[in-house]
């Protein structure tokens, strides 16, 4: 066995030991999903996992199946990743083919120009050193005209081919735009995903620091969503998540930014909105959701959500601190009986 392979196995065993010890001490359910989550968490090469897991741990609750689902949904979306991979591969292949075609045509054109240049230079040298009989002049003129026609024909063909390539490149640009939209959109609800949320959060916080304009942060978490899934099935659960996204989008302005934060948790950023205004919007979402008519085979399904509201603060180092305050307010809403809105001022 090679030394590199031995080091890899030694590293894996060390990480596994940390994972098993942590899971036992913190009563984390021993299921494969949790082992994978905490293996990535303790693996020093997977620093990107730490913030996601530590945010869940910081809440201070016992790690449950809901915790697993929430974290898992934050970092994995097999269907979306597969679709993005296939589309990226298709775009890359198309771009490679078009680029090679342009290079081939440019090379052929360059060869033609070089060949024509050589012939015309030879003719010019012959004309310069000649006595200039009419027959010779006519022959040279025919040669020059023939070369000019040949260049013109190839140039016309090349122009037509280049137009075709331009159209192909435009198609590729549109496909690239589709890849970008797909990468920033939640597959199920069609609102922005966690990746897009992080980008917009950074953007809005930068604007807040620059212009000192308020920005509201709303975090929404469905009440008893696991129970709903267990009772009615994941298909119904998915329909509820889609409806939540629609209600949020309807309740917000076009300048606001709704996103699926992960699992049954959603977030919204409200530029130029103070705490009081953000609370009003959050309560509108809560009210519309509680009043929605979800039915399965004639049976009404009660769906409610708890919401936490915060705003960016002058002491904040980044937008995540406001998100944390909104999260804490959300969990206070859960503790107070669910189906309610709590602001950072009350948490």
Give pLDDT, residue 313: 96
The model's pLDDT over 227-252, given as tens digits with 9 standing for 90+, comes to: 999 999 989 999 999 999 999 999 99
Q: pLDDT under 50 in the chain at which residues?
A: 77-82, 103, 132, 134
**Is 264 a catalytic site residue?**
yes
Among candidate residues 301, 319, 146, the one with its CA nearest the CA of residue 229: 301
**What's the rounded Cα separation, in Å, for the pair 216 and 326?**
10
Give pLDDT, residue 139: 55
Residue 33 CB coordination number (10 Å): 14
Q: Are 266 and 245 in contact (CB under 8 A)?
A: yes
Give pLDDT, residue 294: 85
Strands 305-311 vs 299-301: parallel, antiparallel or unpaired: unpaired
Give pLDDT, residue 82: 47
**What's the rounded Cα separation, in Å, for the pair 142 and 134?**
12
Annotated active-site residue in 264, 265, 315, 346: 264
Q: What stretches of 267-317 show up as alpha helix (H) in DSSP?
A: 275-290
Tokens of 227: 């129970």
Report DSSP state, residue 265.
E
DSSP secondary structure of 23-71: HHHTT----HHHHHHHHHHH-TT-THHHHHHHHHHHT-PPP-HHHHHHH
């Amino acid at each position: 066995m090679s030394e590199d392979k031995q080091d890899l196995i030694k590293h894996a065993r060390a990480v596994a030991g940390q994972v098993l010890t942590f899971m036992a001490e913190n009563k984390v359910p021993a299921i494969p999903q949790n082992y994978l989550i905490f293996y990535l968490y303790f693996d020093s090469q997977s620093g990107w996992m730490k913030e996601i897991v530590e945010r869940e741990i910081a809440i201070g609750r016992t790690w449950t199946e809901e915790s697993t689902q929430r974290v898992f949904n934050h970092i994995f979306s097999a269907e979306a990743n597969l679709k993005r991979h296939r589309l990226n591969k298709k775009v890359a292949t198309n771009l490679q083919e078009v680029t090679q075609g342009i290079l081939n045509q440019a090379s052929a054109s360059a060869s033609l120009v070089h060949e024509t240049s050589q012939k015309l230079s030879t003719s010019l040298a012959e004309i310069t050193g000649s006595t200039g009989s009419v027959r010779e002049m006519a022959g040279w003129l025919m040669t020059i005209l023939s070369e000019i026609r040949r260049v013109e024909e190839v140039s016309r063909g090349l122009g037509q081919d280049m137009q075709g390539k331009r159209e192909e490149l435009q198609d590729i640009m549109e496909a690239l735009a589709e890849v970008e939209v797909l990468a920033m959109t939640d597959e199920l609800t069609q609102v922005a995903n966690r990746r897009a949320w992080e980008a917009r959060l950074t953007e809005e916080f930068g604007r807040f620091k620059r212009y000192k304009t308020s920005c509201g942060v709303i975090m929404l978490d469905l009440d008893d969503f696991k129970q709903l899934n267990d009772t009615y099935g994941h298909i119904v659960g998915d329909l509820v998540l889609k409806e939540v996204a629609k209600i949020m989008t309807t309740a917000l302005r076009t300048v606001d930014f709704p996103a699926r934060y992960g699992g049954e948790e959603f977030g919204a950023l409200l530029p130029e909105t103070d705490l009081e205004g953000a609370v009003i919007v959050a309560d509108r979402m809560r009210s519309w959701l509680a009043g929605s008519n979800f039915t399965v085979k004639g049976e009404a399904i009660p769906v409610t959500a708890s919401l936490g509201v915060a705003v960016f603060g002058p002491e904040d180092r980044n937008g995540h601190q406001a998100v944390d305050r909104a999260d804490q307010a959300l969990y206070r809403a859960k503790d107070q009986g669910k189906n309610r809105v709590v602001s950072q001022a009350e948490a």
